[in-house]
Amino acid sequence: MEHTKHLWRATLILVIVTMGYLLGRGFLVPDSFGKYGYYRGDNLQEQMNIRVPKHGTGMESCGFCHEEKVDTIIVTPHKVINCETCHAALRMHVEYDSLENFLENPSNYEWTAEMPIHSAQELCIKCHDYQLAKPDDYTTIVVMEHLEEREMELGPNVCIACHDPHDPEM
Amino acid sequence: MLETIGFVFPNDLHIHWSLMIVLYPYITGLVAGAFVVSSLYHVFDMEALKPVARFALMASLAFLLVATWPLLLHLGHPFRGVNVMITPNATSAMAGFGYFYSGYMIILLFEVWLVFRKDIITYARRSRGLKQTIYKILALGVYDTSEKAQAIDRKMVKFLAAIGIPGAFLLHGYVGFLFGALKSNPWWSTPLMPIIFIFSAVVSGIAALIVMYQVAMKLKGLVIDRACIDTMCGWLWMFLMITASLELLELVTLSYEKAEEWEIIGQLLFGPLSFSFLGLQMIVGVLIPFILLMIIVLMKKNMGDKVANTLSFTAATLLLIQVFAMRWNVVIGGQMISKSLAGLREAYKPELFGKEGIMMAIGIMVVPFVIIFVAEWLLPMFRYSEEQTEKLSENTTTYYE
Amino acid sequence: MEPIKEKRVLRERGIGMKDISRRGFLQAAMGASVLGALSAVLSAVVPGKVKQALASTKVQPEKVRTGYDPYEHYYSYIINLHKCIGCGSCVRACKMENDVPTGFYRTWVERYQKGEEEHARIDSPDGGLYGFPATTAGVEGVTKAYFVPKMCNHCDETPCVQVCPFGASYKTPDGLILVDGDRCMGCSYCVQACPYGSRFINPHTHTANKCTWCYHRVSKGLKPACAHACPTGTRMFGDIKDPYDPVRHIIEEERIAVLQPQLLTKPKCYYIGLDKEVR
């Protein structure tokens, strides 16, 4: 058609730009995209290694070195609590490069810091202070009454004055 | 600390979609609305809109050029945004942005180029230096201004203006769908959302053009075409009625059905959001402009030009505020409702400075006007109005009031 | 006019040397479509070939690390609301394990207290990080109260993956919903889409974050930190592809509920003892 040269020129520019986009896009799609689904497949592996687990496997991993504590607590009601729940995560105490290596050969690792011990009564009260919301079959006391009966003041370490956390029953 | 009423989920204390996300649909709304006005002339042959048709097209382009900026400023990693064009997720409305935006940009650039092509070639021949280089590049090396070429151009323009309407509606409507299809937020979740967005976009576009046209004519000392203003007011009034009906329908249905969500939405609209929703969006933004426009439209024949221009300017300004308030109430209001549906965040105050702050928003809104000034310097947009002004000045002593 | 000048005049008028007739137009159209098809094919083939050539020296990672195959597992989580004491150990363990930024929560505990008012009074002071104070002012005549731990439900039909613009958020073969922190652009669409308020934008990385069921532990056969820390057995994590798993047993045989079931997101966190007041 006559008089359409300008339209063809504009279309040509459009075609070049579109082809450039299509070509460029092919290079920018990540390699592992679509491997497992509509996402970058490599990330699955990355997420598995995103950090070294800070918590261990529970009493098992603490028991490698602290067998006597585990033996004490295992016959008390507190046996259901993981050591790391009251004390901090394992990695605060033993800095391992990987948890699997630690579990295989715990003796290869030395402790690198004091394990925080929450002797503050806060920790005991968080669980055992009475609230209606807590289940009926769970041991609770009304802390202020409990202390008043024994003429004691609320303060840090007041609970462990009488109770051993690893053998709490009187 | 952040104030809350009722129970708000701990992660809900933070508003993620900020002022920038309020601004983005506002800008694309202006793009779509201005384009519709231009298409009313180019496709539907409304001669009365000839004075603003070219200007509307250029205004649409000016706002389109800044439309991505609020998004880029908001994103945590703006450069990763290009991934929407590399591996878009077909189920995500947001993934449509790349294609809708570039598709509409292509249509609009093509149409603007064709509409101004004759002028480009004329100025390419007449000018010198830098300006001439610019014109020569824009002409793409073809200097055909024959009658046949112009006829072909007009046909192409008509075609582009026609397909540009759904293009513009997609560009703006997908944002409405983005909100409307989220089942997690009952204030957003409605099939009406894209429709409300589109109709209020047209309202904002026409209102913006009324304001900008009058300002431009005053600045250039040209006559404000009364027929043009009347036509725009008529369309504005109609679109306002539809928009208001849809927005009210949403509200009425929610309050009538009294499902779980009405408890919290009612608390929101009559509580923390009452000023911007009832005050700005409904009373100042709908009721008053509705009355003003009704007066202009119904009393067309008995009204002098100056009165009509003032009333329409006022109504249009109020409507620009209304549409902004509507975007605010949707975006920010929706985030004030906690996902628990049992609590509200009290208020969101955008920062003054900062990449998502008020100064940045003002800055972004100023840029399209700078673009329009540059466009006017390069390709004057009001030839028709100049001709009208000359014609009138030959017959009367004063040609504008 | 001289031939050369004539050519220039004709060219200026947009008439090329070869007059493009209708047949010419069809030829051009065919040429354009061939070009288009060619470019589409090239764009799919060329980058792949080039990348292969460049990558021949790189070590190709085969499957996932030996020992863990995500296709062999499918996880679920049980939360027994009859047992939760609101101690907050899970919240603290999660924060420590995953370096969760302050003010944001990958898991949290809520407390519901139902009295005479129409709705229960709900609170979650710091997400339960420091436990719950025994008394709350202004709650009269409470007859029913309980704690509800919450986290990402890792839904089977999740709206968050549906709305992610380019697949930065995804569902793994073993049922977890994860976020690719290297691709996420922080648009927050997923945060808005989650009906449970599980997601947030990390203020340091500016990407979406949420509970990952401690995938870095789960893929080694451990439990997530929260389940690991819970002292009362409220939280149970299990693999329903394992015929001996107690979690699978519970799902198959006990009465369980999910949060906001009407949204049909098909969460994989199942609650025992869920009350109608729970949001």
Q: Which positions 244-263 of C are in contact with B (Cβ < 8 Å)? A: 263
**Interface ipTM:** 0.90
pLDDT at C14: 56
What is the chain B residue with the closest CA to C110? Answer: B9
> pLDDT of C61-118, one tens digit each?
444 455 789 999 999 999 999 999 999 999 999 999 999 999 999 999 999 999 888 8
Question: What pLDDT, on the 0 to 100 scale, is given for residue C185?
Answer: 95
Preferred mutation among B5, B11, B20, B189 to probe C, highest tally of C CBs within 10 A: B11
Q: Which chain B residue has its CA at the smallest distance from A23's CA?
A: B86
The CA distance from A35 to the nearest CA of chain B, in Å, is 14
Q: What is the pLDDT of residues A113-131, one digit of tens each?
A: 877 776 666 788 889 988 8
Q: Note whether A170 and A149 are same-domain residues.
A: yes
Note whether B79 contacts A: Cβ–Cβ < 8 A. no
> What pLDDT score was predicted for residue A111?
80
* pLDDT for residue B397: 54
Return the CA Rg of chain A. 31
B400 contact C CB<8A: no
pLDDT for residue C24: 66
Inform me whether the C-beta atom of residue B147 falls under 8 Å from chain A C-beta atoms: no
Same domain, residue pair A56 and A32? no
CB contact under 8 A, C43 and A26: yes
Question: Over chain B, what is the mean pLDDT?
Answer: 92
Pick from B89, B106, B152: which is nearest to A4 by CB?
Answer: B152
Nearest neighbour of B16 by CB, restricted to C12, C183, C191 = C191
CB atoms within 10 A of CB C244: 8
pLDDT at C18 > cutoff 60: no
Residues 122-141 of C with CB under 8 A from A: 130-132, 134
pTM of the model: 0.90
Residues 6+ apart with CB under 8 A from B352: B358, B359
Q: Do B341 and C279 touch (CB under 8 A)?
A: yes
B45: nearest Cα among B153, B124, B158, B143: B158
Mean pLDDT of C119-136: 87
Q: How confident is the model at residue C33 (pLDDT cuts 50, 70, 90)?
A: confident
* Inter-residue contact C107 to C214 (CB < 8 Å): no
Residue C22: which pLDDT band, with cuts at 50, 70 and 90? low
Contact C163 B339 (CB under 8 A): no
pLDDT of residue B47: 93
**Residue A143 parent element (H or E):** helix A143-149
| Shared-domain flag, residues A125 and A140 | yes
Whether chain B has a CB inside 8 Å of the CB on A8: the answer is: no
Of C123, C198, C200, the CB nearest to B7: C123
Confidence of residue C1 (pLDDT cuts 50, 70, 90): very low
- What mean pLDDT do residues C123-135 have? 88
Contacts of A44 in chain C (CB under 8 A): 64, 70, 172, 178
| A164 DSSP 8-state letter | B
Question: How much is the average pLDDT of C222-244?
Answer: 95
Q: How far is A37 from B306, CA to CA, in rounded Å?
A: 64
What's the CA gap between B206 and B218, in Å, rounded? 18
User: How far is residue B400's CA from residue B243's CA, in Å, rounded to a whole number?
Assistant: 34
Residue B344's pLDDT is 93
Residues whose CB is less than 8 angstroms from the CB of residue B274 and which lie 6 or more positions away in sequence, other chains included: none
Who among C122, C166, C186 is closest to B88 (CB)?
C166
Residues of A with Cβ-Cβ distance to B146 under 8 angstroms: 3
> Which residue of chain B comes nearest to A26, CA vs CA?
B86
What is the Rg, in whole angstroms, of the alpha carbon atoms belonging to chain C?
29
* Percent of residues, chain C, with pLDDT higher than 70: 80
Domain that holds residue A131: 118-170
Size of interface A-B (CB pairs under 8 A): 38
Nearest CB partner across the interface for B77, out of C121, C186, C279:
C186
Which of C20, C43, C167 shows the shortest C-beta gap to A1?
C20
Residue of B nearest to C198 (CA): B11
Nearest CB neighbour to A28, from listed B86, B110, B117: B86
Cβ contact (<8 Å) for B87 and A5? no
User: Residue B362: CB partners within 8 Å, gap ≥ 6?
Assistant: none
Judged by CB atoms closer than 8 Å, whether chains meet at B77 and C206 is answered as: yes
The residue among A95, A117, A139 that closes a domain is A117
Q: What is the pLDDT along chain A (170 residues), one digit of tens a residue?
A: 678 888 999 999 999 999 999 999 988 998 889 889 999 999 999 999 999 999 999 888 888 888 999 999 999 999 999 999 888 889 988 888 888 888 888 888 888 887 777 666 678 888 998 888 999 999 998 888 888 999 988 888 888 888 888 888 88
Q: Do A64 and A112 share a domain, yes or no?
A: yes
Q: Which of C68, C142, C173 is facing A36, going by the closest CB pair?
A: C173
Cβ–Cβ under 8 Å, residues C120 and C112:
yes
Residues in chain C with CB shorter than 8 Å from the CB of A57 are 222
Any B CB within 8 A of A126 CB: no
Position B35 scores a pLDDT of 96
Domain boundaries, chain B: 18-249+351-395
Would you state the pLDDT for residue C249?
95
Closest partner residue to A53 (CB to CB) among C168, C222, C231 is C222
Residues A93 and A58 in one domain: yes
Query: What are the chain B neighbours of A28 within 8 Å (beta carbons)?
Result: 82, 86
Give yes or no: residues A74 and A109 share one domain: yes
Minimum Cα–Cα distance from B83: chain C residue:
C166
Residues 150 through 209 of chain C touching chain B, CB cutoff 8 Å: 159, 162-168, 183-189, 191-201, 205-207
Sign of CA dihedral C164, C168, C173, C178: negative
Q: Which of C13, C165, C183 is nearest residue B88 as measured by Cβ atoms?
A: C165
Task: Tell me how close the Cα of C108 comes to any Cα of chain B, in angstroms.
Answer: 8
Closest in C42, C89, C112 to A85, CB measured:
C89
How far away is chain B from the Cα of A37, in angstroms, using its nearest Cα?
A: 11
Tell whether C94 is within 8 A of chain A (Cβ): no
Contact B87 A14 (CB under 8 A): no
**Sheet hosting strand C144-151, strand order edge to edge:** C121-123, C107-114, C144-151
Decide if A133 and C229 are in contact by the 8 Å CB cutoff. Answer: no
> Cβ contact (<8 Å) for B340 and C122?
yes
**CA nearest to B218, candidates B382, B99, B54, B19:** B382
B18-249+351-395: CATH, from 1.20.1510, 1.20.1630, 1.20.1410, 1.10.10: 1.20.1630
Lowest mean pLDDT among A134-148, C16-30, C231-245: C16-30
Residues 339-378 of B with CB under 8 A from C: 339-342
Question: Does C88 reach chain B within 8 Å, measured CB to CB?
Answer: no
Q: Which residues of C touch B184 (CB under 8 A)?
A: 159, 192-195, 263
C255, C104 contact by CB (below 8 A): no
Number of domain units in chain A: 3
The predicted pLDDT at position B61 comes to 96
| The pLDDT of residue C138 is above 70 | no
Tell me, what's the pLDDT at C202? Answer: 96
Q: How many residues make up chain A in this entry?
A: 170
Q: How far apart are CA A46 and CA C193, in angstroms?
A: 25
Spatial neighbors of B375 by CB under 8 A, at least 6 apart, are B58, B61, B62, B381
* Contact between residue C197 and residue C210 where contact means Cβ atoms under 8 Å apart: no
Selected residue of B84, B86, B101, B136 to mutate for chain A interface (largest A Cβ count, 10 A): B86
Contact A43 C180 (CB under 8 A): yes
What average pLDDT does the segment C162-185 reach? Answer: 95
Residues of chain B where predicted confidence (pLDDT) is lower than 50: 1, 399, 401
pLDDT of residue A16: 93
Give the pLDDT score at A86: 87
Phi, psi of B210 (to 5 degrees): -60, -45
Angle at alpha carbon of residue B315, lines to B314 and B318, rounded to 5°: 85
